[in-house]
Amino acid sequence: MAVKYVPERQCVVCRNRFAKPDLIRFVNGADGGVSLDPSGRMNGRGAYLCHNAECHEKARKAGIVDRHLKRKVDDSIWEALAGEHS
C-alpha cells in the first residue's frame, strides 16, 4: 500500500510546518489585491498561515503576509479569518 504524500508548508509567522490542507493560503490575485485561496491551487505568489489565532493577529499587526506578498492584505480578509475564532 502506498503512503500518501502530503505536501507541507510553513506558516509565515510561527515557522511551524503543517500539511498544506491545514494552512490558509493567501495569494496575489489578478485584480492587484490579495485573496484567500481555499483550493490551494490558484496561480500567483502565495503565503501560508496556520489556523492559530495568535499567528493571525501577529501577521495582521506586523504586516507579515503583506511583506511576503509585497501587497496590502485587505482588512476584510482579516475580519473573515477572525470569524474563525469567535
Task: Catalog residues that contact Zn ion under the rule CB under 5 A.
Answer: 11, 13-14, 50, 52, 55
**Where would I find the H helices in the chain?**
53-62, 64-69, 75-82
* Identity of the residue, 9 or 27, whose beta carbon is nearer to Zn ion in the bound complex: 9
Tell me whether residue 24 or residue 27 sits nearer to Zn ion (CB atom): 24
| Closer CB to Zn ion, 4 or 15, in the complex | 15
Q: Which amino acid is at 14?
A: C
Please tell me the distance from the alpha carbon of residue 47 to that of residue 28, in angstroms, as a whole number: 9
Least separation in angstroms between CB 6 and Zn ion: 18
Q: How far is the CB of 38 from Zn ion (least distance, A)?
A: 18
Residue 3 beta carbon to Zn ion: minimum distance, rounded to whole angstroms: 26
At residue 23, φ and ψ (nearest 5 deg) are -110, 160
**End-to-end CA distance of the chain, in Å?**
41
